[in-house]
Amino acid sequence: MRILAAVFSCALCTLVLAGSAGAIGAIGVTEDAGKYSSDGGGPFFAQLDDLGMNENAITIYWDPSLPGGMAEPGLLDRTLPAAAAHGIRIVLTVYARRPTQFTLSPTAEAQFTDFLERLALAYPEVKDFVVGNEPNQPRFWQPQFAPDGSEAAGAAYEQLLARCYDVLKSVNPAIRVIGLGLSERGNDDPNAPSNASTSPVRFIQALGAAYYASGRERPIMDALAYHPYPGSSTDPLAKGLPWPNASVANLDRIKQAVWDAFHGTAQPTFENGLGLVVSEVGWQVGVVAPSASAYHGRENVAVTSEATQAAIYGDLVRQLSCDPDVTDLLFLHLADESDLSGFQSGLERADGSRRPSYDAVKTAIAQTHGRCLGKPLTWRHATGVVGASVRFSGRRATARADEDATYAAAYVRISPKRAPRRVSIDRALTSGELDAAEGTLSAATRVAVRRPTLPTRRGTYVLAVSLRAAMNGERRSLFLGLPFHVRG
């Protein structure tokens, strides 16, 4: 790996799509084809330019067993000039080649950050680094859980990310440190027979807890990378994933999780400067007969049609252009992998022919230039439990929420002549002052609230139910039933 700084710099490396404040700054692909091209990737980058794209995220593998840690030395030396010649900004996604290399050795963090520092010094024209990839998945980070079953990956990754942030900023404060690159799903089950993984919402919670415990007074990232793949490629864009997972339709969950984890700290949330990088997204497509010879193996997932993919991809550009938190949108890939057990989500087929999605994305970029053509999305953090509701039937109640929560229920004596003092009731319920019945709610499941002890003292009462978000106990929602009288 070369250590000398690049001999050229290019204003196009900081090019962003034209648009108003909050517009997507970069649209492109996550794809290593340009890096591996023997010609430096000129034709590849010319295709991105033709699409109206301006960004390409490529992978840099770290392997501590190799001299200097660089698994593929020399490739960037020919790739970066070709990308710059076509106005393509390069994002480097840097992670270990094997999932245990970050955690097996006590010196791994120091080795990796040293490698990252040398990489940033060697290629000063690169201003965007993603630290790690899908650390909530065992394919990329192990262990996910401690021997006692508690979450482990989030705390370990927070320590690494903080160290990498400091190193990269010491090289150049203008470097954008992009954290996480989270997978859209995880099962939160340390005993799962396969793929024991952490959901994105719970991973962010663990990340924040580790940040608080460290006492750190600096940020750990400038932007958060996320991979909002659908549950199935047969799903429409509007179909989300069950909480605590999140696809494109559930990006508000990721924003809320970050607020819950970091509000009030030195780490910005999406409400005060953190950017959201959609660094991988794609819908897999079935192979059409004329291109079948370019593929091998057997398809292992349900796929959608080329026409449906094209419609979704065009809508993705238009929809995310209206989300002021989204700074980058990167499709995976430009061209399909030829092995059907891999990803066939490209704008081009494996034989190089263009899918309808190529023109759909090109048209959407040309129409929007990254600007919102419809109603801009507005998001603010929730102060109560998301989707909370309580139904009362006499002196009984059922409760539901869109996220995991706990509840406390009690009969509260009120004045028949004054409105109930809700703040006082909620405080009494959640502080243990009342003899409350308690229980838990699983997301999107309506449960019967346990009946508290009936009052015997004469007076007017209401059944009060307070819900508390499992991810943040500060977020509570109070519900009151109709008043009733106890004669004594």
What residues pair up with 480 in beta bridges, in sequence order?
A: 464
Q: What is the pLDDT of residue 426?
A: 86
- Alpha carbon of 294 to those of 152, 174, 297, 348: distances in Å? 42, 43, 11, 12
Cα separation, 383 vs 286, in Å, equals: 44
Low-confidence stretches of the chain (pLDDT beneath 70): 1-22
pLDDT at 12: 33
Q: How many CB atoms lie within 10 A of CB 233?
A: 22
For the chain, which domains are there? 11-368 (3.20.20.80), 389-486 (2.60.40)
What pLDDT shows up at residue 17? 43
Choose among 56, 70, 61, 78: nearest CA to 8: 78
pLDDT tens digits for range 192-249: 999 999 999 999 999 999 999 999 999 999 999 999 999 999 999 999 999 999 999 9
Q: At what angle do helices 153-171 and 108-122 cross, to 10 degrees?
A: 30
Burial class (CB in 10 A: 0-12, 13-18, 19+), 319: buried
pLDDT given at position 476: 95
CA distance 80 to 231: 35
Which positions ≥6 away from 178 have C-beta within 8 Å?
91, 128, 129, 130, 131, 221, 222, 223, 224, 225, 277, 279
Query: Residue 138 in 3-state DSSP?
Result: coil
Q: What share of the chain is helix, strand, coil (3-state, %, to 5)?
A: 30, 20, 50
Q: What is the pLDDT at residue 484?
A: 92
E strands, 205-284, in order? 223-227, 275-278
Tokens 């196009």 map to which residue?
Answer: 12
What CA–CA distance (Å, rounded) separates 55 from 28? 5
Are the C-beta atoms of residues 341 and 298 closer than 8 Å to each other? Answer: yes
Backbone dihedral region of 3: left (phi > 0), alpha (psi from -120 to 50 degrees) or beta?
alpha
